[in-house]
Structure 1
Amino acid sequence: MRQLLDIVARHKRGEQAGVYSLCSAHPQVIESAMREARAYDAPLLVEATSNQVNQFGGYTGMTPADFRRFVLKIARQSGFREANLWLGGDHLGPNAWRHEPADEAMDKAAEMIRQYVVAGFRKIHLDCSMACGGDPEPVPEDVIARRAARLCAVAEKAWRDVGGEPPVYVIGTEVPVPGGATESLGELEVTSPEAARATIKAHQDAFAQLGLDAAWPRVIALVVQPGVEFDHHKVIDYRPNRARDLSAFIADDAQFIFEAHSTDYQAPVNLEALVRDHFAILKVGPGATYALRETLWSLAAIARELPGGADQEDLRAIALEVMRSDPRYWRNYYHDPKRESLDLQFSLSDRIRYYWPHPRIKQAYESLLTRLRGSSVPLTLLSQFMPRQYEAVRDGRLQANVDELLQEGIAASLRPYMRACGVAGSQR
């Protein structure tokens, strides 16, 4: 990951340099991100989480090696250079097995880390902040650090066994809830410089105790809470004045930058401010699949208005039917029956993203795109249901075909991240 280390070094020299991390397993989202990055010969960092991809398949059914093959296939199909594809592992630790005894959960986490590194993942977020069976809550920081160091030792051995570039690591315990908060949020408490300093010190000591001195310089980032988050229908925006002390603390550190999670839905000016203030790794996941869903709903509305469209299957209705018949991915998030339909479709936590691979939804998705590929999309319907794409079509920047419209809907949510991270020309 020499290129990523170079981005950190450039940032430390005062450049508006950063990288955004795409946390998604949806092929259309990944393809759209690759097409945008390819236009500027820019790298793309794609990350998988421990719940999503692990040695048992995770909720995607993919092992780390499977996920790598999956992403590389999309890269080949979209003409994206493999050298510009970076793979990372997010929240890698015992989270997927936190209800098991700590020793057993950590054994499984160690095997997962090994498989990630062997498969070619080289950005590794060591996250042992969650309590396992028998642990006190919260887990003491020295325990978290020792567990992270143990997993780092596994990663280092796996890398030495298979060769290639050495991994870089991200540490940190103040991690927002993956996928967004489950309850309505008020103002968030920003990580204090003292807490950040203690986390770094605890991990540095734990690494030294395991003889990981060679790995420590490759620990590039610390996950903290800069005061950004989202719940079902609200975004907590970044306020630079509240993170001033935290930003100043890391500015004086020669090694570390911050990694900011849950930056989905932040305004472009906020993303640029985050990178400026040394939160130079920006994670986005639900925000990209939300843009996918939003675009598909607009395309479905267009399809219904075309001749004979009302007689065709409705992607939106099928998705809701499947989600209600199998509530495992949303029942712990959405609690108000009166708002169920609203939340299932439009919540910013975007729990619908777990259902796109379902056979019925996938069939309806493909059927919708096939029907629209066989029709010309009238400008009048484009103006009604997709006004941003309509403007791009009228300006000659976009073709009015379904694949380009879908690509543009997703890409528009990613370009602000590219601009914030200093990718030249990523404004459209």
Structure 2
Amino acid sequence: MTNPLTGLATARRGGSPYGITSICSAHPLVIQSAIRRAVADTDSMLLIEATCNQVNQFGGYTGMTPDLFVAFVQEIASREGLQPSRIIFGGDHLGPNPWRSEPAAQAMAKAEAMVTAYVWAGFSKIHLDASMGCAGEPAALDDETIAARAARLAKAAEKAARAKGGALPLYIIGTEVPVPGGADHALSDLKPTEAAAARRTIEIHREIFAREGLGEAFGRVIALVVQPGVEFGSENVIAYKPEASKALTALLDEQPSLVYEAHSTDYQSRAALAALVANGFPILKVGPGLTFALREALYGLDLIAAEMVPGYGDRSLARTMERVMLAAPGHWRSHYHGGETSLYLQRHYSYSDRIRYYWSNPAASVAVGRLREVLTGVDIPETLMRQFLPTLPAGLGPASDPEAILLAAVDAVLADYEAACRGG
């Protein structure tokens, strides 16, 4: 099956653009839902990505190294009947970001080792992101430094890929990279990347890659990360405005081998996603939006269990998650702001969805398992589904399979992405 990533620019030039959804999550139910959708569409390939903080040679916050992440996804794929050859693995924000509190020399050495581990594990789409300064450096680096560090990382990837054998990596570059996981404040407006800045990024990367003997590797750069004018903060979402990114779209006519990769597309409407694909942003990355939908469904079932199951308790799952997050505030404390009520609401309901970091906590896993156990085989009346899970398809009620409900919540989001990638 042809890799759809390699045809994105050609399809755009030919007037028949298509897109691909990039699943950026390590939650097993999100992965399972995405795989089931791929199984149903036998002509598609599935793109699943891991980020540098989530998965790296030291385990990241998931505890998984790149090879363990691949094994984790492939185990679910095997269970669901999806051939491994239909999964594309991508590495997102691969660079010194996890170690930016260290001197650049140390952070870059670790970043090179991480990129090597990703390629050896079978990741074939590599986002080279050296945009953030390390200890003693400015927060935002100049284009030349970023491109030089990206070239270092590409050299590590090329060396690993040639030693491993098989297809050589496809690369994503870009210096104007949105904050992974969304902004940590309310947003009022967002200015897309200037076309001149995007052009300069491409030119400098091409020049430095050629200087470093990586001209052939630069030929496998398929996309540039820019800011198209989409983002989400803790409490609001900035919707895509096609007219604001016209200059960026026009720039692609000068760069026939490139498209754009759109980060932070979570919570955009189906129409907005389709417009992104049509306007040259066909790689649509989504992560928190999927786990947000999953959390909505879990909390809906939590309320249903409180209504239907004697002895379950009042919002048992939500109360457990509050205890877990308060006991280990590292994943949310520096991202959420305000008084106690505001912090409580953000912990549980923020678009940033930093609660996603806690679902693998042992206490959280037990609470979710108990919720699923007490509702398995229990017919949930349609009226309760309408009350607590109103956004899910009506055909699910009455329902007695909580896993099916949770998977459907994720799939409802994925359906918008699939429709947008197919042209709306």
Equivalent in 299, 318, 321 of residue 319 of structure 1: 321
Shift in CA distance, 194/298, structure 1 to aligned 2, threshold 3 Å: same
Q: Which moved more, 1:279-288 or 1:12-21?
A: 12-21
Equivalent in 391, 395, 398 of residue 394 of structure 2: 391
Shift in CA distance, 390/270, structure 1 to aligned 2, threshold 3 Å: closer
* Counterpart position of 1:98: 100
Matched, 1:9 2:10: yes
User: Any conservation in 1 of the 2:249–2:279 contact (CA below 8 Å)?
Assistant: yes
Shift in CA distance, 102/307, structure 1 to aligned 2, threshold 3 Å: closer
User: Any conservation in 2 of the 1:72–1:82 contact (CA below 8 Å)?
Assistant: yes
Structure 1: tracts of 5 or more residues without a match: none
Matched, 1:34 2:32: no
1:75, distance to aligned residue in structure 2 (A)? 0.6
Matched, 1:299 2:316: no
1:79, distance to aligned residue in structure 2 (A)? 1.4
Matched, 1:147 2:149: yes
| Secondary structure at the counterpart of residue 36 of structure 1 | helix
* Counterpart position of 1:343: 346
CA distance in 2 between partners of 1:406 and 1:81 (Å): 24
CA distance in 2 between partners of 1:313 and 1:299 (Å): 9
Q: Which moved more, 1:120-129 or 1:11-20?
A: 11-20
1:309, distance to aligned residue in structure 2 (A)? 4.6
Shift in CA distance, 330/135, structure 1 to aligned 2, threshold 3 Å: same
Amino acid at match of 1:241: E
* Counterpart position of 2:406: 406
User: Any conservation in 1 of the 2:66–2:117 contact (CA below 8 Å)?
Assistant: yes
CA distance in 2 between partners of 1:11 and 1:196 (Å): 18
- How many residue pairs align between the two structures? 421
Structure 2: tracts of 5 or more residues without a match: none
* Counterpart position of 2:56: 54
Shift in CA distance, 255/171, structure 1 to aligned 2, threshold 3 Å: same
Equivalent in 372, 391, 415 of residue 369 of structure 1: 372
1:210, distance to aligned residue in structure 2 (A)? 1.0
CA distance in 1 between partners of 2:152 and 2:165 (Å): 20
| Secondary structure at the counterpart of residue 342 of structure 2 | helix
Amino acid at match of 1:142: E
Amino acid at match of 2:23: L
1:415, distance to aligned residue in structure 2 (A)? 1.1
CA distance in 2 between partners of 1:8 and 1:364 (Å): 46
Q: Which moved more, 1:329-338 or 1:371-380?
A: 371-380
* Counterpart position of 2:23: 22
1:379, distance to aligned residue in structure 2 (A)? 2.1
TM-score normalised by structure 2 residue count: 0.96
* Counterpart position of 1:126: 128
Shift in CA distance, 399/300, structure 1 to aligned 2, threshold 3 Å: closer
Shift in CA distance, 267/208, structure 1 to aligned 2, threshold 3 Å: same
CA distance in 2 between partners of 1:310 and 1:71 (Å): 33
Matched, 1:379 2:407: no
Q: Please tell me the root mean square deviation across aligned C-alpha atoms, in Å.
A: 1.6
Amino acid at match of 1:415: A
User: Any conservation in 2 of the 1:377–1:401 contact (CA below 8 Å)?
Assistant: no
- Superposed CA offset, 1:190-243 (max 9, x none): 111100000001100111011111111110000000110011110000001111
Runs ≥4 residues deviating over 6 A: none
- Superposed CA offset, 1:359-390 (max 9, x none): 00001101111111132222221222123436
1:310, distance to aligned residue in structure 2 (A)? 4.2
- Superposed CA offset, 1:123-177 (max 9, x none): 0000000001232343111010000011101101100000111110000011111
Q: Which moved more, 1:146-155 or 1:375-384?
A: 375-384
Identity of aligned residues (%): 48
| Secondary structure at the counterpart of residue 283 of structure 1 | strand
TM-score normalised by structure 1 residue count: 0.95
* Counterpart position of 2:310: 308
